[in-house]
């Protein structure tokens, strides 16, 4: 692929934790009464946490950014437009305002009631556990992509409805006591792979497409010995490995019924909160490891001094992207068409004035914004 001239791009991912539950006193797994108006209400209230999130984005100034855990409210993008117009487009704490004239936010599986007993509690169709993805309402924990460059909306591919069992050698959860499938046959046949969705979003840079491959796999916890969430996390990550691999993607179909993966001559960036790392945590590490070691991918391995100081006894801490101490957020560029220039994690030191933006969970997010700077190849 050739470009008219080289362009430098900064591409970022940020789990902004702006899901509705963040505005209550409840944590995941606890009872909560929330509505899909909660995020819209917060956005309308000059919310300090949202202002801090906007300031972080302004400070990094990415050209393309994926937001994880930004609820999809099926409101004609009004909540997302509110965030752009009322927060990003306005200077936060003296920072230069930033604009993203192009954006995409599509439906996700979280909170979409399956009518099945997915969480194994003996009750069918009870949210949040029986959603195709864990969520209290449709769109909970959604995603949004913002860009300074045009998005080819007509050629976006989404894989929200792809069935887990249609992946060859899918890691079907097995009951540890009976050594039989943990899900019933009817549930297994209906289950979708994506806990939120998988998106292939072409962004046009000087008329050439860079395919932004975005997802947010489920955390590999909140389950039992059957490891249903761990196996789903593995296969959600494996999806991208297969999608960019000639000969492995033939089984994949998108929500329009088009089959196959990414063409071999297409430039891409894979990004999102993957809830997995190769060295820590409960994830099945083969999934993320195979992606990071893929011959078509270059991993910049962003790091921060503050992350290392946050967990001084952990030799991997400089790579951490979360305040609990794991690398879970990734921006992975294709070898084809892109040259790595720089990378980083927004994690100020305690001695810095901007530390107020990440000092605790309520300041902004329990994740850090991760960015990679790339140059398109001539």
**What pLDDT, in 10s, does the model give residues 124-152?**
999 999 999 999 999 999 999 999 999 99
Within-domain flag for 178: yes
Number of domains forming the structure of the chain? 1
Interatomic CA distance for residues 277 and 286, integer angstroms: 10
User: Quick check: is 2 in a domain?
Assistant: no
Where does the pLDDT of residue 28 fall: very low under 50, low under 70, confident under 90, or very high at 90 and above? very low
- Asked if the structure places residue 319 within a domain, the reply is yes
Q: Is residue 3 part of a domain?
A: no
pLDDT in tens, 282-292: 999 999 999 99
Given a cut of 80, is residue 32 above it in pLDDT? no
* Class of residue 359 by CB neighbours under 10 A (exposed 0-12, middle 13-18, buried 19+): middle
User: CB-based burial of residue 255 (10 Å sphere; 0-12 exposed, 13-18 middle, 19+ buried)?
Assistant: middle
pLDDT surpasses 80 at 176? yes
Task: Classify residue 1: in a domain, yes or no.
Answer: no
Mean pLDDT (whole number) for 76-80: 95
**What pLDDT digit, counting tens, does each position of 201-249 carry?**
999 999 899 999 999 999 999 999 999 999 999 999 999 999 999 899 9
pLDDT for the residue 228: 97
Which tokens hold the place of 107? 């439906």
pLDDT category of residue 23 using cuts at 50, 70 and 90: very low
CATH number of 169's domain? 3.60.10.10
20-32 average pLDDT score: 44
d(CA 83, CA 90): 10
> Span 90-116, mean pLDDT?
97
Domain assignment present for residue 175? The answer is: yes
**141, exposed or middle or buried, with CB in 10 Å at 0-12, 13-18, 19+?**
buried
In a domain, 97, yes or no: yes
The band of 6, judged by pLDDT with boundaries at 50, 70 and 90, is confident
d(CA 90, CA 208): 30
106 pLDDT above the threshold of 80: yes
Contact call for residues 117 and 130 (beta carbons, < 8 A):
yes
**Tokens at 369, concatenated:** 């914004």
Q: Tokens at residue 265, please?
A: 């001559």
Domain span including residue 291 = 8-376
Q: Tell me the average pLDDT of the chain.
A: 93
């Amino acid at each position: 692929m050739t470009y008219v001239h080289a362009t430098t791009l900064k591409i970022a991912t940020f789990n902004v934790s702006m899901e509705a539950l963040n505005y209550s006193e409840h944590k995941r797994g606890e009872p909560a009464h929330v509505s899909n108006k909660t995020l819209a209400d917060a956005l309308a209230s000059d919310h300090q946490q949202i202002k801090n999130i906007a300031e972080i984005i302004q400070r990094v100034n990415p050209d393309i950014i994926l937001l994880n855990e930004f609820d999809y409210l099926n409101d004609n993008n009004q909540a997302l437009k509110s965030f752009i117009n009322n927060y990003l487009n306005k200077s936060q704490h003296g920072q230069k305002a930033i604009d993203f004239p192009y954006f995409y936010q599509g439906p996700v599986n979280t909170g979409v009631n399956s009518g099945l007993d997915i969480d194994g509690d003996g009750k069918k169709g009870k949210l949040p556990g029986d959603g195709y993805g864990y969520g209290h309402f449709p769109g909970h924990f959604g995603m949004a992509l913002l860009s300074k460059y045009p998005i080819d909306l007509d050629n976006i591919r989404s894989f929200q409805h792809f069935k887990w069992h249609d992946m060859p050698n899918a890691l079907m959860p097995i009951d540890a006591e009976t050594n039989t499938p943990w899900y019933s046959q009817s549930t297994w046949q209906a289950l979708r792979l994506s806990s939120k969705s998988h998106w292939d979003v072409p962004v046009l840079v000087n008329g050439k497409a860079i395919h932004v491959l975005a997802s947010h796999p489920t955390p590999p916890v909140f389950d039992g010995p059957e490891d249903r969430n761990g196996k789903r996390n593995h296969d959600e990550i494996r999806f991208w490995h297969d999608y960019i691999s000639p000969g492995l993607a033939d089984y994949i179909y998108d929500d329009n019924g088009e089959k196959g993966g990414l063409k071999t001559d297409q430039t891409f960036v894979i990004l999102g909160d993957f809830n997995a790392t190769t060295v820590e945590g409960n994830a099945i590490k083969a999934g993320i490891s195979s992606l990071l070691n893929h011959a078509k991918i270059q991993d910049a391995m962003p790091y921060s001094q503050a992350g290392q100081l946050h967990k001084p006894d952990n030799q991997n801490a400089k790579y951490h992207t979360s305040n609990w101490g794991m690398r879970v957020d990734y921006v992975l560029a294709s070898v084809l068409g892109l040259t790595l220039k720089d990378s980083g994690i927004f994690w100020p030191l305690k001695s810095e004035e901007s530390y107020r933006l990440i000092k605790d969970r309520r300041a902004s997010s329990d994740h850090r914004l991760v960015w990679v700077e790339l140059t398109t190849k001539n």
